[in-house]
Amino acid sequence: QVQLVESGGGVVQAGGSLRLACLAIGRGFNTYSMAWFRQAPGKEREFVAGVRESDRGTYFADSVKGRFTISRDNTRNTVYLQMNSLKPDDTATYYCAANFYGSSWTVRAMDYWGKGTQVTVSS
């Protein structure tokens, strides 16, 4: 069992930056691929970024490539999402998710979810 706790959300002006963090409570953090998803009101939850447990390869949605980076610190059981050049379209609740030795970045593939943190980008 893994519990995921997100932090770092807030309100920022367009063009600004935020860094989200997700602490994994439980064992075996280094066996989980970690991902960030987001969900805006009235829209489906969508993949944002992911990092593999093994080779630490990173993956991004086209909408955030070049603006967001994802990283993990296995000594701190934490995954980060650095968000730069934020746009109003990035406004959403951001969720951390874990997939045991996963290679798929779909909502259905995730084994554990956090409760989310709100990011609001004002124009």
How large is the average pLDDT for residues 74-93? 97
CA distance 93 to 103: 23
Pick the more confident residue, 10 or 54. 10
- In this structure, the number of other CB atoms found within 10 A of the CB of residue 116 comes to 18
Q: What is the mean pLDDT of the chain?
A: 95
- Each residue's pLDDT tens digit, 42-70: 999 999 999 998 767 899 999 999 999 99
- In this structure, the number of other CB atoms found within 10 A of the CB of residue 65 comes to 10
- pLDDT of 15 strictly over 70: yes
- The token duo for 36 is 């960030």
- Confidence (pLDDT) at 55: 63
Identify the helix (H) or strand (E) that includes residue 55.
Answer: none
- pLDDT of 116 strictly over 90: yes
